[in-house]
Amino acid sequence: MFETDTIAAISTPSGTGGIGIIRISGDKAFEIARKIFEGKRSFDSFRSHTINYGKIVDPSTNETIDEVLLSRMDGPNTFTREDVIEINCHGGIAVQKRIIELVVREGARIAEPGEFTKRAFLNGRIDLTQAEAVIDLINSKTEAGSRAAVDQLEGKLSEKLKEVRKRLIELIAHIEVTVDYPEHDIEEITGQKIYEELNAIGSKLNNIIKNFDKGRIIREGISVVIVGRPNVGKSSLLNELSGKNKAIVTDIPGTTRDIIEEYVNIEGIPVKLIDTAGIRQTEDVVEKIGVEKARKSIESADLVIMMVDAGSGINSEDLEIMKAAREICNRKLIVLINKIDVADETSIKNIENTFDDVRTIRASIKEEKGIEELERAITESFVRDEIKTGSEMLVTNVRHKSLIDKAINNINDARTAFESGMPLDCLTIDIKNAAEHIGQITGESVSEDVMKSIFSRFCLGK
Ligand SMILES: Nc1nc2c(ncn2[C@@H]2O[C@H](COP(=O)(O)OP(=O)(O)OP(=O)(O)O)[C@@H](O)[C@H]2O)c(=O)[nH]1
Ligand SMILES: [Mg+2]
C-alpha cells in the first residue's frame, strides 16, 4: 500500500503566470536537486527550510533552462513528511515542462492528482477529514465555505470523532471483561452503564450531524429553481441575476426547452440557479420533456421562485403550477410578480391577494426593479437560521454524513438489543460496526477503494 518512490508535479495552475512551482517529494528529491541545480554554493550546504537562488541546468547538455529559487525542506518536517524540494521558476509553461521532464529523467515520477496530500495522510501528517478539507478549500466557492473547510483542516471534526471512537472501543473492552467474568450482579450494573454510555454516544453523534444541512448549503450552495408558465420572464431573471446572457430570451412562449443552470454568488452564498421550461399543457414532444424536467427540478430545490406575469394576470395555468409547487415541495417558496412595468396597481394587488399566504415580490426585470429585494429574500431565508456559522463545527461532507448515520444506526441496534434483554456480548458486533464506520471518516480504518476515490478528486500537484 505504501509507495516510497519520488513524485513530482507542477503545483501551480497550468497556463502562463508570474511564477511556476515544481514540487518534488520523496527519497530521491535531494539527489535530483544536486544533479540539476547550480547555485553559488553547493546544495549540501543549504540548511533545511531555506530558499536559494541558482539555475536549473540540464546535466546532459549543460544547457541552462531557467533561473530559479529552490527551497530545500528536510523530512519529516514537511507536508508529506518526506524530503521535499520546491523550485520556483519563471512561469512559462514550456519552461515548467522542461524542468519537470528533467526531474523525471533523473528519477522522479509524475504525481497522481492528490498524491502529495495522500502521502501526508499515509505518513500520519494529517487524517482523512483533513485531506478532504484540502480539496474543499481548493474548491470552496465562498468565504463561509472556506471557513468551514479550514475548521475541518484544523482537525476539529476528527477530534470529536476520534473521541467517539475511543469511547466505543472502551465499551467493547468493557463488555468483553464482563463476559469473561460473568458474576450475575456485576453484569446487571455494568449492563445499565453500558446502555447509558451508548445513549450518550448516540446523542453526541446526533449533535455532530444535526448541522449537516447547513454545512451542505455552505459547501454546495442553495439550489433555486425558477418556474412559471411560458413567457413570464424566467430566463430573463436567470440572465439578470447571473449578469450573463446564458439563456435565450424571446417573446415566443416555449423558448426554453431544457434546464439551464448557472452558479451565482449572492451575498457570499453560492446559489445554483435553475431556469426551466415554461410549464403548460403541450403536445410538442420536446417541450413536454422540458416541462417534465421542470417539475422534477422542483423536487430537489431548496427554494422555488414561482414567476407570474403581472401584465397578463393570473390564469388557471398559474394556479395549477402553484398547486404543484406547493404539493411537491413544502419548501421555501417565493412568488415573483414580474412585468409590473406593464401592469396597473389594481391587477398587481389582485395577484398579491391571490397568493397572500406566501412571500410575494414585485419586479420588473426590464426596468431592473425588485431584483435586490429578491436577492435579499433568497439569502435571508437561509442566512438567518441556517448559514451564519458561529464557532460551531459543521459537517459539510456527504461521505462523513452517511458514515455517521450508519454509526448511529449501529448504536440504535445495540440499544434495541439491550432493551430486549439480549446478552451483552450480542451488542459488541453493532458497537464494533459503529467504531468501524467512524474510523472510516477519520481514516483510522479505511479501504483502499475509498481512499482512491477521495484522492482522485484532487487536482494535479496537490
Ligand atoms: N415588459 C416586460 N417584459 C419582460 C420583462 N421581463 C421579461 N420580459 C419579456 O418577456 C419575454 C419572455 O421572457 P423570457 O425570459 O424568455 O421568458 P421565459 O419565462 O423564460 O419563457 P419560456 O422560456 O418560453 O418559458 C421576453 O420578450 C422578455 O423581454 C419585464 O419585466 N417587463
Ligand atoms: Mg425561458
Phi then psi for 30, rounded to 5 degrees?
-70, -40
In angstroms, what is the span from residue 57 Cα to ligand 2's centroid? 59
pLDDT value at residue 390: 45
In angstroms, what is the span from residue 244 Cα to ligand 2's centroid? 14
What are the b/e assignments for 163-187, b being 16+ CB within 10 Å? Answer: ebbebbeebbebbeebeeeeeeeeb
For residue 249, the ligand 1 atom closest to its alpha carbon is 16
Is 371 near ligand 1, meaning CB less than 6 Å away? no
Q: 329, 319, 331: which is closest to 355 by C-alpha? A: 319
For residue 277, the ligand 1 atom closest to its alpha carbon is 25
Is 231 near ligand 1, meaning CB less than 6 Å away? yes
- Model confidence pLDDT, tens digit, residues 307-322: 999 999 999 889 988 8
**Residue to mutate, 236, 240, 368, ligand 1, most ligand atoms under 8 Å from C-beta:** 236
Is 276 near ligand 1, meaning CB less than 6 Å away? no
Is 370 near ligand 1, meaning CB less than 6 Å away? no
Is 366 near ligand 1, meaning CB less than 6 Å away? yes
For residue 257, the ligand 1 atom closest to its alpha carbon is 23
**Residue to mutate, 245, 249, 291, 306, ligand 1, most ligand atoms under 8 Å from C-beta:** 249
pLDDT value at residue 455: 73
Give the ligand at the shortest distance from the Cα of 363.
1
pLDDT value at residue 387: 44
Is 235 near ligand 1, meaning CB less than 6 Å away? yes
**Ligand 1, atom 26: closest residue by C-alpha:** 251
| All domains in the chain, ordered by first residue | 7-111 (3.30.1360.120), 132-211+395-455 (1.20.120.430), 222-387 (3.40.50.300)
**Ligand 1, atom 8: closest residue by C-alpha:** 233
pLDDT value at residue 326: 83
The gap from C-alpha 31 to its chain's centroid, in whole angstroms, comes to: 38
Identify the segments of the chain with pLDDT beneath 70: 1-3, 13-18, 91, 137-148, 154, 181-189, 211-220, 268, 329-331, 381-396, 446-447, 449-450, 453-454, 456-461
In angstroms, what is the span from residue 255 Cα to ligand 1's centroid? 10
Is 91 near ligand 1, meaning CB less than 6 Å away? no
For residue 230, the ligand 1 atom closest to its alpha carbon is 25
304, amino acid identity: V
CA distance 360 to 377: 10
